[in-house]
Structure 1
Amino acid sequence: MSDIIQQYRIEKEPYYRPVSDEVELYEAAYSVRMPMMLKGPTGCGKTRFVEHMAWKLGKPLITVACNEDMTASDLVGRFLLDAQGTRWQDGPLALGARFGAIVYLDEVVEARQDTTVVIHPLTDNRRVLPLEKKGELVHAHPDFQLVISYNPGYQSLMKDLKQSTKQRFGGLDFNYPDHAIETEIVAHETGVNAEVAGKLVSIAERARNLKGHGLDEGISTRMLIYAGSLIATGVDPVKACRVALVRPITDDPDMRDALDAAVTTFF
């Protein structure tokens, strides 16, 4: 395997706590190389899940953070000029297709629709990637798989995947885990005890109930891990929660007061 792709191998097992049968379903999907779509709120574990599965399957993982300025060339590749003249550089899709990596397009709907259509030939029975500028047709390596993710809560009619794209993927729904599992995750990731982790989860659950009632998004599991990590270093829990949970998600004074009150209820 090319040295270029070796850097994308995950050497150490990423911690992931299964919530349901998502691990078994993903393994089955990978066995038939089905492209997969992961849907769920921000910070609920989608990226960690993909990292864990890539490690479990022993495959390199190439992650692309999608954005509205991303072009098809950013995904496929382009010619570059250097001291020796012009050379071709594969983009992440071409690299993954050549060498059998899992390519993960995170928040794929942030990319323009005219950019995301380049994935179509890779996500049906053809499993090819045309490099039109280079005049090459890359046949996907047998181990190649494409995975995309997005947060349905952020979608509008202007920002959504085409049906012609959606129907090329299998789908897994993700959400924040139930109280006991999320407490276990926070305790494991931060080193705080189960009591402190449970209090952090309770604060998050209150905030999530405010989604759509003053908050665009609730407190994520990722944010709880930030707060727990601060507490584990000796930061006062109330201050840690203000820094990691309350201040990042809202600037509204009344909402901040409500969330601060929830923090002081538990700490």
Structure 2
Amino acid sequence: MNDIIDQYRVTQEPYYRPVADEVELFEAAYSVRMPMMLKGPTGCGKTRFVEYMANKLGKPLITVACNEDMTASDLVGRFLLDAQGTRWQDGPLALAARHGAICYLDEVVEARQDTTVVIHPLTDNRRVLPLEKKGELLRAHPDFQIVISYNPGYQSLMKDLKQSTKQRFGGLDFNYPERGIETEIVAHETGISLEVAGKLVSIAERSRNLKGHGLDEGLSTRMLIYAGSLIAKGVNPISACRVALVRPVTDDPDMRDALDAAVATFF
């Protein structure tokens, strides 16, 4: 059984550059097993932060990419048929609760509300997960913690967490790092110079000013790392930015021209 959970251990320390006191706050939250909610735009480092903390705390990390087709059984578990008959297979949430892992529900608002309510008994003083189909009341391992993330910029009245869910979590706000830190991150992750990384960050800053004025989201730190990685491989910087930054975020010809112009300004 240890083999099952050991595959979820984060054995190498991920690179994460703290921007405030989020590491200390998360450690304190974990010490009392407080469920945590990470809020921030896509590609700003939420998932990397959870991986970093799991490594720092020495705990396995089971990540679930939430989507609207996900059912409660996908999280909790189900009976499967094999040559010996039927057997129960824990879902990722039950696996984490049973073995003391951190369970990370990424973009949790993408899941249906009738699915996310299954986490409620694990996020209060009960710390239990009813496996109704199996007839088992699973009591969470002392090391178990649940972490969720979502992007408030995409939420709507139809896609938001219920107050009864939100109030079970502590919250940490994430955003794109300030210029100097973001430049350092892009340079470290890609191997390009700080000068070139700074140019990519300048392009991103311009795009973020266009959020709500033609762009749903500005360029993320993740996208800058993609562009920097191409540049590090010898791709022309303008071509790298076109492929990794401009084309993925918009199909609008005018917005593409504006972003291409921003790229040309710096490269």
Length-normalised TM-score, structure 2: 1.00
Distance 1:93 1:261 in 2: 46
Number of the residue aligned with 2:198: 198
What is the Cα-based RMSD across aligned positions, in Å?
A: 0.5
Q: Residue 47 of structure 1 aligns to which amino acid in structure 2?
A: T
Map 1:98-177 to 2 at 5 A: 98-177=98-177
How do residues 12-161 of structure 1 correspond to structure 2 at under 5 angstroms?
12-161=12-161
SS of structure 1 residue aligned to 2:254: helix
- Superposed CA offset, 1:192-247 (max 9, x none): 00000000000000000000000011000000000000000000000000000000
Report the Cα distance in structure 2 between the residues aligned to 1:124 and 1:87, rounded to whole angstroms. Answer: 30
Deviation at 1:13, TM superposition (A): 0.4
Write the distance in 2 (CA, Å) between the matches of 1:168 and 1:261. Answer: 46
Cα distance in 2 between the residues matched to 1:212 and 1:244: 21
Q: Partners of 2:20 and 2:173 in 1: how far apart?
A: 11
Q: Deviations 1:175-201 (Å, cap 9, x if unpaired)?
A: 000000000000000000000000000
Separation in 1, partners of 2:12, 2:173: 26
d(CA) in 2 for partners of 1:143, 1:46: 21
CA distance in structure 1 between the partners assigned to 2:29 and 2:184 by the alignment? 28
Q: 1:219 maps to what in 2?
A: 219
Structure 1 CA distance for aligned equivalents of residues 11 and 30 of structure 2: 20
Q: Which 4+ stretches in 1 moved above 6 angstroms?
A: none
Take 2:83 and 2:264, find their aligned partners in 1: how far apart are those partners? 62
The TM-score, its normalising length taken from structure 1, stands at 1.00
**Equivalent AA in structure 2 for residue 227 of structure 1:** A
C-alpha separation between the residues in 1 aligned to 2:141 and 2:42? 31
Counterparts of 1:252 and 1:3, CA distance in 2? 49
The residue number in structure 1 matching 2:237 is: 237
Partner SS for 2:219? coil
CA distance in 2, matches of 1:112, 1:251: 29
The CA distance in 2 between the partners of 1:78 and 1:17, in whole Å, is: 39
State the percentage of identical aligned residues. Answer: 89
Give 3-state SS (helix, strand or coil) of 1:214's partner.
coil
CA-to-partner distance for each residue in 1:144-185, whole Å, 9 max, x for gaps? 000000000000001111100000000000000000000000
In structure 2, list runs of 5 or more residues that go unmatched. Answer: none
**For 2:167 and 2:96, how far apart are their aligned partners in 1?**
22
